Structure 1
Amino acid sequence: MHLDITGLPAGPDDMEITPDGKTLWVTLRFSKKVGGIDIPTMKLVTVFSVLHACSCSAVFH
């Protein structure tokens, strides 16, 4: 499956869905950012920078 999410920075890597199933958090390894995607609309709703490239397990656990 290919999803086209406008504005998604480079390097989508690890992904984690919130327990309510509404948000997909994605680590953006090459940009050193984490993005939140609203699942119902498949739109990027938030992006924040991290100090180092990371995985979702490091960010969300």
Structure 2
Amino acid sequence: MNPSPEAREWGKRQAARSPRWTDEKWNRVAVIFTITLSTQPDPQQEESADRQAPAPVREAA
């Protein structure tokens, strides 16, 4: 079920009114939570995802 056109427009209006976070604010929050924000993909994370075996698929009885 998709939202109605009216609901989509309402969401767009709400998003336009909301405050925008600056890069500085994102970085301050990252320091507080000791996380790393990056626009570059993490090669180690990609590598570990490649090594994970897919979950076995079970047939319905």
- TM-score clears 0.5: no
Structure possessing the higher relative contact order (Cα contacts under 8 Å, 6 or more residues apart): 1
If the length of structure 1 is used for normalisation, what is the TM-score? Answer: 0.19
What TM-score results when the alignment is normalised by the length of structure 2? 0.19
